[in-house]
Structure 1
Amino acid sequence: MFTFDQATLDGTGAFLIGELERLDQTLNMPLVGYTWSRDIQLREDVSIADDISSFTNSSFAAAGSPNPNGKNWIGKNSTAIAGVNLDIAKTGFPLTLWGMELGWTVVELAAAAQVGRPVDTQKFDGMLLKWNMDTDEQVYIGDSQLNVNGLFNYAGASITNAVATWANSTNQQILDSINTLLSNAWAASGYTLVPRDLRLPPKAFGLLAQRIVSDAGNQSLLTYLQMNTIAYHQNGVPLNIYAVKWLEGAGVGGTDRMVAYTNDKKYIRFPMVPLQNVPIQYRGIYQLTTYYGKLGAVESPYPETLAYLDGI
């Protein structure tokens, strides 16, 4: 019969092992995935002392002459020459302090070190996991408590509805829906930029990978779409298509959402102050340290370069 020291098992992982028991020494962390670092670039000029991250948008107005809607023609003897009017608007988002305290007793530390499962390292890994999970959510959908949005629900982005779900669509209809989304963002930007990145719910991503383009079966629809949309022909690079779990049910009415954008710091970024910690404090037999950083909210000086398609 195996005997376990339950109090120590819950705390440091130092427990009794039977003679015929073979314990796998691998430390298995919780099965969690996060992709925020792949899908957005950081704004790194913010510091722990900042409370708000902000940016400005400049607007210009210029009347033509002699036709206000025309070009700026002037005569050789003109004395009244039109100028340019400038308006600079500022947009700000909160930088919110994030923190977590790690602590253990010297007894736990010694017991865990003796069995080769250091409790301080494990708690640090757990804290990093929570930091990345919170950052993942903050980047993609924001935080309702702080009243900030993320990459997948940003205010100002265009939202349209799919004609039909992809499960009930042909390959051509799926291609048309993607090109429609890219065209909407292209038109909203004044035909300045076609999005270079496409994010899909996992089910839709799996559907593209499963379907073949033709009866020859030599190419999946996913591979075909990377090279056969207006994004590739305009930008000269394949369309970056990836799956993100946060897009399931992210659309209006709980529908699945597809997102087109350009992963470039000029168009969209995420302010973050990396984690740092205070020196270890000793309280009796306890050792304590606090890690802290700041998470902002997704910023897009050009929200017209974002586009959403719901109901796929």
Structure 2
Amino acid sequence: MEFKNMGTYDGGVISSSPDTAMASQRFKTMDAAAIANNGAFLQSELEKKDNVIRQPLTSFTYSRDLPIRVGGGWAEFISAMNVEYGVTGGSEDGPVHAGGANGIPMVQANFDKGLFKTHIFSVGMRIMWVDMQREKLTGRSLESILRDGIRMTYDKHMDANTYVGIKRYGSTGLLNNPNVTTASAAATGASGSTKFKDKTPDQILQDINDAILAVWAAAEYDRDAVPNHIIMPYEQINYLATTKVTELAEKTILQFLLDNNVAKTNGSDLYIGGCSWCKGAGTGDTDRMLVYINKDRYVAMDELAPLSRAMTQPNAENVCYDTAYMANLSEVELYYENIMRYVDGI
């Protein structure tokens, strides 16, 4: 077979023999723009499109650290009834009865109703009509992307509402309630520091047991009121989870704490976890540990109207579609002020 001269390429101009003039002309017609731009067109055609949309990195822990009850509608307040009992002469010897007595002590009840505020969460989404048409070419749903953004906004709001409340709204959260007793600082270890990293495992266990017992004592040692939940900054929890009790031991400090705490001894399954909101939450911006009872009898939050699409309408003036998402949420409802304890300086 005989090969004809197909011409040469000098980086910008193609020279060809008469036999290839027509083919060369077609080549110039189709790809002249690509050649003039150093093959940019060809490069874009040959690239592999990654279909994964990488969203911002973040985390939410509110559903782990607080019971969330769903339902209730668009109420403005949530009420909770408390009752205290009393009996004439006290419950120790007041009810003792003797023959011939003409009266018995009567029990009395003192009712108190607490009110907790709710607030409406609302955020909108706008999609231009032209962008909706372009979705057919890109293969991506702009509505789906923006809906994920709304969900992330909602979760970040719920996280803040759970741990520190909404300052402008006048509410507080798990970590900054002024009615919760605050230990001025964790006990000072042999090294002279209150920080966990400067203490022995036994000293850390003592800090945790002291906080558990203080909360339980304030609840008059009610068997249902043994603290079962502890949160602290990730720096401290990671230290506990990765540091061995001793150089020769296989057990970490965290496992040592979970196996030997006073809550477990009294029938409570203790959880110890990390929370980014604990960092700097204590007095003087120190790190804070929270010990409490994570049950809806003692503390909760109401998601009265879960996040949902409220309405969508076309907007001819701006050539777009507007959608509103709304929810109705409560502040943190702390029913017993003595079922929590803050320990600062860990």
- Equivalent residue in structure 1 for 2:282, among 244, 247, 251: 251
Instruction: Pick from 129, 132, 137 the counterpart of residue 114 of structure 1.
Output: 137
What is the CA-CA distance between 1:279 and the residue it aligns to? 3.3
1 CA distance for matches of 2:262 and 2:287? 23
Deviations 1:240-284 (CA, angstroms, capped at 9, x unpaired) = 111000000111111111011122111111011201223320122
What is the letter of the counterpart of residue 308 of structure 1?
Y
Aligned to 1:11: none
Q: Is the 8 A contact 1:106 1:286 kept in 2?
A: yes
Partner in structure 2 of residue 179 of structure 1: 209
Gaps of 5+ in 2: 1-36, 188-193
Aligned to 1:283: 315
CA–CA distance in structure 2, aligned partners of residues 217 and 202 of structure 1: 23
- Residues 226 and 268 in structure 2, CA contact (< 8 A), matched pair in contact too: no
Instruction: Indicate which of 66, 77, 81 corresponds to 1:56.
Output: 81
The one of 291, 294, 303 aligned to 2:328:
294
Say whether residues 1:222 and 2:254 are aligned partners. yes
Alpha-carbon distance in 1 for matches of 2:136, 2:262: 58
SS of the equivalent of 1:98 reads strand
- Does residue 34 of the first structure (1) align with residue 35 of the second (2)? no
Partner of 1:102: 125
CA contact (8 A) 1:141 1:153 kept: yes
1:76 counterpart = 2:107? no
Distance 1:113 1:130, change over 3 A: farther
Q: Distance in 2 between matches of 1:139 and 1:252?
A: 19
- Specify the alignment match of 1:158 in structure 2: 181
Tell me, what secondary structure is at the counterpart of 1:129? Answer: helix
Q: Structure 2: which amino acid aligns with 1:218? A: E
Are positions 1:308 and 2:333 aligned together?
no
Note the C-alpha offset of 1:103.
Answer: 1.2
User: Retained in 1: the 8 A contact 2:87–2:94?
Assistant: no
- State the one-letter code of the partner of 2:214: N
Percent of matched pairs sharing the same residue: 26
What is the RMSD of the two structures over their aligned residues, measured on CA atoms?
2.2
1:44 lines up with 2:70 in the alignment: yes
- CA 1:197–1:59 in 2, change beyond 3 Å: closer, same or farther? same
CA drift of 1:106 comes to 1.9
3-state SS of paired residue (1:279) = strand
Instruction: Flag the 1:261–1:100 CA change in 2: closer, same or farther, 3 A.
Output: same
Residue 165 of structure 2 is matched in structure 1 by: 142
Q: Which amino acid aligns with 1:220?
A: T
Who is 1:7 aligned against? none
Shift of 1:69: 6.4
Q: Is structure 2 residue 42 aligned with structure 1 residue 22?
A: no
Bigger mean CA offset, 93-102 vs 156-165: 156-165
Note the alpha carbon deviations across 1:172-206, whole angstroms, 9 max, x for none. Answer: 11111011111111111111122011111111111
In the alignment, the residues of structure 1 paired with residue 286 and residue 150 of structure 2 have an alpha-carbon distance, to the nearest angstrom, of 33
Aligned residue identity for 1:55: A
Q: Distance in 2 between matches of 1:171 and 1:75?
A: 57
**Amino acid corresponding to residue 302 of structure 2 in structure 1:** P
Counterpart in the other structure of 1:85: 108
CA positional deviation for 1:136? 0.5
SS state at 2:50 partner: coil
Paired residue secondary structure (1:81): coil
Q: How many angstroms does 1:302 deviate by?
A: 1.8
Q: Distance in 1 between matches of 2:70 and 2:267?
A: 27
Matched, 1:202 2:231: no
The AA in structure 1 aligned to 2:78 is: S
Deviations 1:68-106 (A, max 9, x none): 963311223222322122111111121101101111122
1:214, CA displacement in angstroms?
Answer: 2.4
Tell me which moved more, 137-146 or 112-121: 112-121
| Corresponding letter in the other structure for 1:233 | T
TM-score (norm: length of structure 1): 0.89
Residues matched between the structures, number: 297
2:45 & 2:249 partners in 1: Cα distance? 55
Aligned to 1:240: 271
Letter in 1 for 2:117: P
Give the distance between the partners of 1:258 and 1:247, measured in 2 at CA.
7
**Distance of aligned partners of 1:190 and 1:113 in 2 relative to their CA distance in 1, 3 Å threshold:** farther
